[in-house]
Structure 1
Amino acid sequence: MILRRLARPMLAAIFISGGVNALRAPEAHAEAAKPFLHDAMGKVGDKLPEQVPTDPTTLVKIDGMVKVGAGLALAFGRFPRLAALLLSGSLVPTTLAAHRFWEEKEPERRQEQQIHFVKNVGLLGGLMLAAADTAGKPSLGWRARRAGHVLGEHAHEFGEWAQDTTHTVGAAPKKAKKALRSVLPG
């Protein structure tokens, strides 16, 4: 649909741009993230495995790579639902780290940060819609429920058929394949 082809790149653009900026100047972004990371590491730092980086600059670089990679995937429609989930997972800590308006003392600065915070909440809403968008195809949950229902109907028929001793054993796989074909797409 044309709407998806236009909307996904538009939504992805801010993440790609932000990711590139974070990769170009990770130190500046890391400085802004330090208070949030200090709070977060104070709560869970001792429970993290040694392999998980805790250095702010490294975390900003990883976040930047996720934003660029997932942003490009979303823009080009490659695994858009997964890309939207990855961007959502990146957006929440970024928002909490960079737009802590509740800590600002100056009214102008507080309002500026609050606007950015609310903007990011709006972006998160767009990402949630993108993550839930099945492009007109039934969801996995619907497919699973439908498969269970259809297989249940065929199981009853198959049971009656199996009780009839006039059928050969070799015909059973054909009957089962026919039942599965009616459930599975393609």
Structure 2
Amino acid sequence: MKNLVLLGRICFALLFIMSASGHFSAETINNVAAKVPFASVLVPLSGVMELLGALSILLGYKAKWGAWLIVLFLIPVTLTLHQFWTIEDPMAQRMDMVNFMKNIALLGSALLIGYFGSGPMSLDAIVHKKPVLAH
């Protein structure tokens, strides 16, 4: 069963690791600039937060902190970039609602990791392993 926790961390972190690099492209920054002030600073900063949080979770090192970085990343991104309720085109609204709800599910997962940590197969577990005392 402990393998499932590791697999869950890998699946969760992979999404953020793969998308983080996009936060450094001029195209992404320009697209976000219409909705977010200081996009040239905030978008790359969010990419750094996303990458550091995801790597922390993936490796299981300080995973609770990494999860909170993901939470701090997801909340403003979800609320500012996926305002599906403001979109009039039904298909575009549906697509943005799916992205909004995906982010809500990811937020829930990050909150769980933030509370429970990285599990038994992690660097955190190795670092915090209590030595066996000889009697």
The equivalences for 1:62-101 within 5 A come to: 62-101=45-84
Q: State the match for 2:32 in structure 1.
A: 32
1:86-115 alpha-carbon deviations (Å, 9 max, x no partner): 101001111122211011110000000001
Distance 1:32-1:60 versus aligned 2 partners, 3 A rule: same
How far is 1:29 from its partner? 3.7
Show the counterpart of 1:113: 96
Contact preservation (8 Å) 1:22, 1:29: yes
Q: Structure 2 vs 1, CA of residues 119 and 129 (structure 1 numbering), >3 Å: closer, same or farther?
A: same
The one-letter amino acid of 2:51's match is V
CA contact (8 A) 1:19 1:64 kept: yes
Report if aligned partners of 1:33, 1:98 keep a CA contact under 8 Å in 2: no
- SS for the counterpart of 2:61 is coil
The answer to whether the 8 A contact 1:26-1:60 is kept is no
Percentage of identical aligned residues: 25
Q: TM-score, normalised by structure 1?
A: 0.59
Q: Which has the higher contact order (CA 8 A, sep 6+)?
A: 2
Question: Root-mean-square deviation (CA), in Å?
Answer: 1.9
Aligned-pair CA distance for 1:120: 0.6
Give, as a single letter, the amino acid of the residue that structure 2 aligns with 1:65.
V
TM-score calculated relative to the size of structure 2: 0.79
Name the count of aligned residue pairs.
120
- Runs of 4+ aligned residues of structure 1 deviating over 2 Å after TM superposition are 26-35
**Pairwise CA distance, 1:3:** 2.0
Give the Å deviation of 1:26.
4.3
Gaps of 5+ in 1: 39-54, 137-184
Matched, 1:131 2:114: yes
Q: Write the letter of the residue equivalent to 1:80.
A: A
CA distance in 2, matches of 1:88, 1:26: 25
Q: Call closer, same or farther: CA 1:79–1:26 in 2, change over 3 Å.
A: farther
Residue 10 of structure 1 corresponds to 11
How far off is 1:13 after superposition? 1.0
Q: 1:18 to 1:33 in 2, by over 3 A?
A: farther
Question: Which amino acid in 1 is paired with 2:39?
Answer: P
From the superposition, tell whether residues 95 and 26 of structure 1 become closer, same or farther in structure 2 (CA, over 3 Å). farther
Partner AA of 2:55 in structure 1: L
